[in-house]
Amino acid sequence: MNCRHCDHPLTFPFLDLGFAPPSNAYLSHADLARPERHYPLKLFVCDACRLVQTEDYAARETLFDADYAYFSSVSESWLAHARHYASSVIEELSLGRDSFVIEVASNDGYLLRNFVSAQIPCLGIEPTASTAARAEALGIPVVREFFGEQLARSLAASGPLADLIIGNNVFAHVPDVNDFAAGLKTVLKPGGTITLEFPHLVNLLDEVQFDTVYHEHFSYFSLQAVEHIFHVAGLRVCRVEQIRTHGGSLRVFGCHAEDPRADDASVERIRHLEEARGITQPETYRNFQQRVDDAKNGLLRFLLDAKDAGLKVAAYGAAAKGNTLLNYAGVRPDLLPIVCDAAPSKQGKFMPGSHIPIVSPADLARAKPDVVLILPWNISDEIVAQQRPALGPEVRFAVAMPAVRYL
């Protein structure tokens, strides 16, 4: 395999998580009697452009299908993040009724609803029918296609160019990053702004966030890699913000390469941060597998010790990251009988690979667990606040990453 950005041969696999099913391919009861797809799950780092990426096996159409089960609006903290972003960017860019906003991967309208409320014209791009229908019900116009240069040319020919293009946690989901960036360039108005949010590679490496590795994430970004990709497309990163979402992310502000605005000092600051954290040094990657295996083994010891002590452990959050963790550790219902999730789209189904049943919060309360292991550790505070009243003061909450600890 060659690098999906610069076509340099990939010779440095630094993480091998074995074989795993797509992390959002939740199973019905009937599916349990059928063969389940598993694909190799490995990470490579490109020696030339430093893009970290999975080995290609699963096609995007397989991963993002009509029954896609992830709905962004389930998380209250994510809705609050979207509201705050919308209000700040509307003010900063002086967006109004004469502006035009495009969100790529608009999901269920969790973000664009704020622009609709502000009477700012907008358009969502969302290929998964399940989430697009939810957004349309909120009055958000949606194009149900994958975004790339071809779609961007069609949009540019038939409608206005965008004052603002938003892509929150979509860049990692794109198999052809060059085509995606070219699409951004094509549909961006002169003087327009792009904002992309994505988990920062530095945090993945520093905090052993290997559970964020799954087939839907084709790439894992540093600022250095994003600047490479933008440069080829005729774009430029002019500002960077560090944000707390998803265990530590970057929000990059992009513009046309010829845009007269000067680069903010934050761009150079994050460049220096990445160099200091060793993203260009091979030794940073060489010991990552051992650190991952230590985390996996710690989870298994925790669950085995709990079982030996007669404690009832349940999990909360049927998240993609949880599926990576449970499948690599080989956890099955004998150690973790149930996973609770607030999303009705997941309840009554089974976790891919591990086949652990997914139940509702009411079912979790009835199960009376002694310990609740929170799989989406990035929103653990929100989950504890939501579930503590129903589960009672005696229940202990824990997270598994980067090592098992009680909250």
154 shares a domain with 279: yes
Produce one character per residue of 179-189: b if its CB has 16 or more CB atoms within 10 Å, e if not. Answer: bbbbbbbbbbb
337 shares a domain with 236: no
Contact (Cβ atoms closer than 8 angstroms) between residue 220 and residue 53: yes
Helix (H, G, I), strand (E, B) or coil at 87: helix
| Domain membership flag for residue 95 | no
| Domain membership flag for residue 387 | yes
Q: Which domain holds residue 155?
A: 146-285
Say which CATH number the domain at 396 has.
3.40.50.720
Neighbouring CB atoms inside 10 A of 158's CB total 7
- Taking only the tens of pLDDT, the chain with its 407 residues reads 899 999 999 998 999 999 999 988 999 999 999 999 999 999 999 999 999 999 876 555 554 555 555 667 777 888 999 999 999 999 999 999 999 999 999 999 999 999 999 999 999 999 988 899 999 999 999 999 999 999 999 999 998 999 999 999 999 999 999 999 999 999 999 999 999 999 999 999 999 999 999 988 999 999 999 999 999 999 999 999 999 988 899 999 999 999 999 999 999 999 999 999 999 999 999 999 999 999 999 999 999 999 999 999 999 999 999 999 999 999 999 999 999 999 898 999 999 999 999 999 999 999 999 999 999 999 999 999 999 999 999 999 999 998 999 99
| Type of residue at 38 | H
Looking at 285, 301, 332, the residue that finishes a domain is: 285
| Domain membership flag for residue 9 | no
| Domain membership flag for residue 14 | no
242 shares a domain with 334: no
Q: What is the pTM of this model?
A: 0.89
Q: Tokens in use for 307?
A: 């079982």
DSSP 27: B
| Domain membership flag for residue 330 | yes
344 shares a domain with 220: no
Looking at 285, 320, 342, the residue that finishes a domain is: 285
Looking at 231, 260, 285, the residue that finishes a domain is: 285
| Domain membership flag for residue 259 | yes
Domain count, the chain: 2
Helix (H, G, I), strand (E, B) or coil at 59: coil
Contact (Cβ atoms closer than 8 angstroms) between residue 35 and residue 229: no
Say which CATH number the domain at 279 has.
3.40.50.150
CA–CA separation, 11 vs 217, rounded Å?
Answer: 20
Rg, Å, the chain Cα set: 21
